[in-house]
Amino acid sequence: MPVITALSHVSHLLHISRLLTADSSVGRNADHHAYASQYLQELSKALIDDVVKVMDALPDKPLM
């Protein structure tokens, strides 16, 4: 997956996470929204960590 595509996905995940956080403060099922928001934040961090790993890797060095 191209880096720009991965970062675009991260942006969308973080936006949805922000909306879930806002909903958890005013709506029903606040716990569910808060847990979903936290999950999306962790997923976003994992994607960003992978992007950083790819960008820091040497061209002739394997990623694993």
pTM over 0.85, yes/no: no
27: which DSSP letter?
Answer: S
Q: Please report, in tens digits, the pLDDT of each residue of the chain (64 residues total).
A: 888 999 999 999 999 999 999 988 887 778 899 999 999 999 999 999 999 998 887 676 665 5
DSSP H helical ranges for 1-57: 3-26, 30-56
Burial class (CB in 10 A: 0-12, 13-18, 19+), 4: exposed
pLDDT at 27: 75
pLDDT at 30: 86
Using CA atoms, how far apart are residues 29 and 34, in angstroms rounded to an integer?
A: 9
For residue 9, the one-letter residue type is: H
pLDDT at 26: 85
